[in-house]
Amino acid sequence: MNSVLSLSAVLAGIAVAGIAVQRIKPEIEPPVGVAGVEAHETNGAVSLIGQFRTTVSGSLWVRSDLYLHNGVQMRPLTEQELKSNVKGVHSADGLDGEMHGGEGRMVTVVPSRDRDFRGIFGDIDRATSSYKDMSNHEHNPPKAALPLFRLMTMFDPNFIQGWTVAATLLSWEKNRQAYELAVQHLKNGISENPKSVLIRNEIAFTYARSLGDLKTAKNYFEQARALLNSGEAMNDDEREGGLLTYRWLYWINRDLGLSAKQKTLISEGLSHYKDDPVLLHAQEAMNIVPTRRG
């Protein structure tokens, strides 16, 4: 009897689900013609290729960090390691910060002998893997990684960090020729990513900090600012990059003695980034009455 009841219940359930699906189907799956199906398939293929390109460039990005450390695998220290003062390195030459978004002190993935319980297994591991203890922390010449970055942006031209970090590597020698090469590379990046705030910022930084050309720097920051105010959809990285656009524009205008412009920038910047301490501090310093923040 029970089994008959169970079977009836299951059948009733299937019937209800079937009716429900019939009702929902048109909502979730609008009728499409042949053209629609073709478009859908084309989009699918494009998206698959896009995913592949993103995956390749992403993995190259990871590998580039590894090659810079000559194969020594690194990881950020854990909270516990930080508390127990485990020895790590902190952006020895700025490159670790660049590659890891300033994640803080790094340590080798293969543990040093004093932190390894494995005995001889640990010794063999350190002898066979590309391991160097933190006192020997060093980098390969950063420019050696440039071909990899070229490969990254070739596979995925929209990989913004691929352009910006490559520019950092290009300007590593810190001379005019190197900076100009970096700027040229970034301009190529803009032609692939015409709506990128981050690449414009990077060009502007190079002009401002390295080439001492504040006017050209200001021009690129203004381009970035225009993009931020254009209402264009952009990802979080690009949007957060805009914070530096406003800060730098504020400083450049200060250096150029354009105080009225500074005030406008602070108000506008705070409308985008209401909690930014730098802009808030600037607002206080210039005695600007806070307006309603959006």
Give the Cα separation of 189 and 205 in Å (integer): 15
Binding status of residue 113 toward other proteins by CB under 8 A? no
Give yes or no for residue 124 binding other proteins (CB under 8 A).
yes
CA atoms within 13 A on the CB side of 160: 19
119 binding other proteins? (CB under 8 A): yes
User: Could you say whether residue 147 binds other proteins (CB under 8 A)?
Assistant: yes
Number of residues that bind other proteins (CB under 8 A): 33
Q: What phi-psi label fits residue 262: left (phi over 0), alpha (psi between -120 and 50 degrees) or beta? A: alpha
Q: Which of 62, 120, 233, 289 binds other proteins (CB under 8 A)?
A: 120
Q: Rank residues 58 and 251 by Cβ distance to other proteins and give the closer one.
A: 58
- Which of 34, 127, 260, 289 is in the footprint of other proteins by CB under 8 A? 127
Q: Convert residues 228-267 into a mask of x (bound to other proteins by CB under 8 A) and - (unbound).
A: ----------------------------------------
Strand (E) or helix (H) holding 106: strand 106-108
Nearest Cα neighbor of 92 from 127, 38, 59, 134 is: 134
Instruction: Please report how close the Cβ of residue 141 comes to other proteins at its closest, in angstroms.
Output: 10
- 109 makes contact with other proteins (CB under 8 A): yes
What is the rounded CA–CA span in Å between residue 93 and residue 71? 17
Integer Cα distance of 267 and 272 in angstroms: 9
Give 111's DSSP letter: P
Which residues of this protein are in contact with other proteins, per CB under 8 A?
A: 60, 63, 66-67, 70-71, 73, 78, 80-81, 109-111, 115-121, 124-125, 127-130, 140, 144, 146-148, 150-151
